[in-house]
Structure 1
Amino acid sequence: MNTFVLKATAPALLLLASLSISATAQTASPNHAGTRVSEQKAQKRADYLEKRIRELHAKLKITDKQSTQWDAYAKTMRDNADSTDQAFRDRGQKLPTLNADEAMKSYADLAQLHADNMKKLAASFHALYGVLSDEQKAIADKLFRHEQEEHHHRRHK
């Protein structure tokens, strides 16, 4: 896979990682207070995603001519976040009753979902990157490289 595409997906990786962590932390609660907290967390994640999409749109200076590819990329980000959130909620509900073998398989399923989502995101980004101007590509290259370096630095502190 193209190195740039991997770098370009760093923001999505960060987003999915943050969604995964927060979704894992929340387990299904039978009471209404727990449900309300889960809904509030889900709304916060959705708000963060929309903010991130708006920021990327502005920083990349997406034009009207690029809106089809941009919209596909943004939709992929939203769809991936939704499927990841749902998968973690489902796992959180089942986890208390899973044996070790089932828990390991469920974790592998989450990892596969993440890989599948990243392939979808990389494909939609590739289409977007193909219609960017040289100036926009330079912005994207710098933006995504910087974010990946920050992510790497945080993980290895």
Structure 2
Amino acid sequence: MKNPIRKAAVPALISLAMFTGVAWAQTAPVSASSTSAMSSSSTAAKSHAQRRMDNVEQQITTMHSQLSITDAQSKQWDAYAQTMRDNAQKTSDALSGRRQKMATMNADDIMKSYAELAQMHADQMQKLASAWSDLYAVLTPDQKQTADTLFHNRPLHPRPAMHKHTAKPASASSAASSSGT
């Protein structure tokens, strides 16, 4: 019984971990000198938001192709894809708004903001899971097998390249834990 639950929870937990890392990175304090740089970085933020949306579109296109979605399945597919787009846009907007307010937020505000982001993410995952269930119900057995393989073999949201350096090799982490550091 534990194994099916673990398999079902892993994609959601990986996604939550990814979101948590992004949200946590947003909590870096903003100095007075960097406040003036924020206006010049709005172009970079738009560029980042656009890259995020482009990534979502690429994921949608790739998954559509991998699953060989048919015209008869397009209604459910379109609902799932739109949910992905809506979630990405809402997340981008929320993170941008949080980033703009960060300089004036105290620790209590930051914690509440983080809780709001986590709740928003949980709500988004529920909507995405519901849209996925509707789509999965109309997939052929071969498409379901492909989907099962896709969800078992990789997370829904690939880990950003900028975080790859933070993972320790197994030997390094076991050596560190055995040395007490």
TM-score by length of structure 2 reads 0.70
**Larger deviation: 51-60 or 18-27?**
18-27
**1:67 equivalent in alignment to 2:74:** yes
Aligned residue-pair number: 151
Query: Which runs of no fewer than 5 residues in structure 2 stay unpaired?
Result: 170-181
Over 3 Å counting, the alpha-carbon distance change for 1:7 and 1:100 in structure 2 is: closer
- Please report the TM-score for the alignment, with normalisation by the length of structure 1: 0.80
Maintained 8 Å contact 2:83/2:127: yes
- The C-alpha deviation readout for 1:26-53, integer Å capped at 9, x for no partner, is 988543x312111111111111111110
Question: For residue 20 of structure 1, what is the aligned residue in structure 2?
Answer: 22
Counterparts of 2:142 and 2:10, CA distance in 1: 17
Aligned pair 1:119/2:136, yes or no?
no
**Equivalence map 1:34-73=2 (5 Å):** 34-73=41-80
Aligned to 1:146: 153
Q: Percent identity?
A: 41
Query: C-alpha offsets along residues 42-73 of structure 1, whole Å, 9 cap, x if unaligned?
Result: 11111111111000000011110000000000
Amino acid at match of 1:119: Q
Cα 1:142/1:7, change in 2 over 3 Å:
farther
Which letter does structure 2 place at the counterpart of 1:113? Answer: M
- Asked if structure 1 preserves the Cα contact closer than 8 Å seen for 2:11 and 2:151, the reply is yes
Higher relative contact order (CA 8 A, sep 6+): 1
**CA RMSD in angstroms, aligned pairs only:** 3.3
Q: Tell me, which stretches of 5 or more residues in structure 1 are unaligned?
A: none
Q: Which has the larger radius of gyration?
A: 2
After the TM superposition, which residues 5-16 of structure 1 pair with which residues of structure 2 at under 5 Å, given as runs? 6=9, 13=15
Per the TM alignment, residue 125 of structure 1 is displaced from its structure 2 partner at its CA by: 0.2
> The residue matched to 2:154 in structure 1 has which SS?
helix
